[in-house]
């Protein structure tokens, strides 16, 4: 914005301006001082009010900042705890998986042993049918003769036969 240059005042113009009484327009010095003082007081009141609001806002901002820092610290702490728990869970899962594998292998060995023992029992004693309990490797069963036939005195032809049948039933998960 261009401000035009004002021409220089002549001495007569300057004297005329100085001799003008501006009191009706501007008021007396006391009136002008009073206006300026009221304006200054209003300005000071507004400044104090603004300072108080600023202080209040600053306190609220500090409070909120503190709350956010606490929340952030909690979030970081929880994230770290979560990571530790996830690692612990992975470690326990791996350990349990290894243990499960070992237990499955041991279970398979035990089942194999049971099957071998049961198979061996079949070569020692008759397991089923009407001759159940007949011992192939011994003739120790007590018996008596009836109508010309040899009749054993035990359910399974001998006490050993009875015991072997009980062992077979136990190996198969049943009752003796």
Which residue, of 124, 142, 161, is where some domain finishes? 124
pLDDT computed for residue 65 by the predictor: 96
- HEC string of 96-158 equals HHHHHHHHHHHHHHHHHHHHHHHHHHHHHECCCCCCCCCECCCCCCCEEEECCEEEECCCCCC
pLDDT computed for residue 133 by the predictor: 76
User: DSSP state, 174?
Assistant: S
- Looking at the whole model, is its pTM more than 0.75? no
Cα–Cα dist 84/74, whole Å: 15
pLDDT computed for residue 140 by the predictor: 59
Kindly give the confidence (pLDDT) of every residue in the chain, 176 residues in length, as a single tens digit, with 9 standing for 90 and above: 677 887 888 888 888 888 887 777 778 888 889 999 999 999 999 999 999 999 999 999 999 999 999 999 999 999 999 999 999 999 999 999 999 999 999 999 888 888 888 887 777 777 877 777 777 666 556 677 888 877 766 665 666 767 777 777 777 776 65
Residue 9 lies in a domain: no
Structure token digits, residue 62: 């500090």
Range of the domain at 41: 26-124
User: DSSP state, 173?
Assistant: T
Residue 73 lies in a domain: yes
Residue 95 lies in a domain: yes
Partners of residue 161 on adjacent β-strands: none
Structure token digits, residue 26: 């501007």
Structure token digits, residue 25: 């327009």
Task: Characterize 135-151 residue by residue with b for buried, 16 or more Cβ atoms within 10 angstroms of its Cβ, and e for exposed.
Answer: beeeeebeeeeeeeeee
Residue 3 lies in a domain: no
Residue 18 lies in a domain: no
Residues 35 and 120 in one domain: yes
Number of domains in the chain: 2
pLDDT computed for residue 172 by the predictor: 77
């Amino acid at each position: 914005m261009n401000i035009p240059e004002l021409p220089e005042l002549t001495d007569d113009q300057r004297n005329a301006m100085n001799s003008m009484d501006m009191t009706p327009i501007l008021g007396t010095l006391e009136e002008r001082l009073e206006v300026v003082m009221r304006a200054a007081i209003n300005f000071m009141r507004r400044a104090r009010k603004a300072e108080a609001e600023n202080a209040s806002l600053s306190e609220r901002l500090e409070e909120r900042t503190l709350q956010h820092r606490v929340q952030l610290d909690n979030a970081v702490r929880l994230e770290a705890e979560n990571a530790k728990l996830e690692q612990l869970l992975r470690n326990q899962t791996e350990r349990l998986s290894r243990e499960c594998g070992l237990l499955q292998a041991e279970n398979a060995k035990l089942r194999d042993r049971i099957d071998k023992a049961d198979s061996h029992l079949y070569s020692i004693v008759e397991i089923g049918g009407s001759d159940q309990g007949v011992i192939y490797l011994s003739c120790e069963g007590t018996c008596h003769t009836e109508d010309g036939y040899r009749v054993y005195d035990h359910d399974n032809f001998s006490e050993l036969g009875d015991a072997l049948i009980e062992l077979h039933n136990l190996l198969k998960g049943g009752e003796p």
